[in-house]
Amino acid sequence: MTVSAQEYSGSPAEIVEKEPILRLLLRGSSLTRRQLEALFLEAEDYVLGRRRTFEEKARLLGVSRGTYARILGQALRNVSQSLYTLLLLGYLGMLGERRFSWLMELGRALEDGEMEEALEMLAQLAKEASPRPRPPPLFP
């Protein structure tokens, strides 16, 4: 199960509030909540073939036109940097199927609506990714 503009009505803020998986994924992403909301408005317009002005979208987020433009620009930059990071890792051969099979499994679980399984996988990944406490040096 994925979140799409066609499935939900309401403001982007309401959608983020309704979706616990979305909130969890957002916490671990490089996007802020406002950036995600702006991207959602843009995606919604694209999917529905709507053409709202920046002023209209800014009003929906409760910000000025200039602030909306800045938030959207930052969101697009963050997404672009994430994609370049994945491309770089792929180019270096660090995204082999064996090494990142967990990513495919997690994606499938999210798409299939297996939220409990997806949450368990995310919790395990977070636990493994957390820096382990290091003992203080013997001789500073």
Encode pLDDT of 99-108 as tens digits. 667 777 888 8
What sign has the CA pseudo-torsion 46, 70, 52, 60? Answer: positive
Residue among 80, 72, 3 nearest 39 (CA): 72
The pLDDT of residue 22 is above 60: yes
- Token pair for 104: 């495919």
Q: How far is CA 138 from CA 85, 112, 131, 133, 134, in A?
A: 37, 51, 20, 15, 12
Alpha helices in 29-114 (DSSP H): 33-48, 54-61, 65-91, 101-111
pLDDT at 1: 42
User: Length of the chain, please?
Assistant: 140
121 pLDDT tier (thresholds 50, 70, 90): confident
Is pLDDT larger for residue 48 or for residue 66?
Answer: 66
The pTM for the full model equals: 0.69
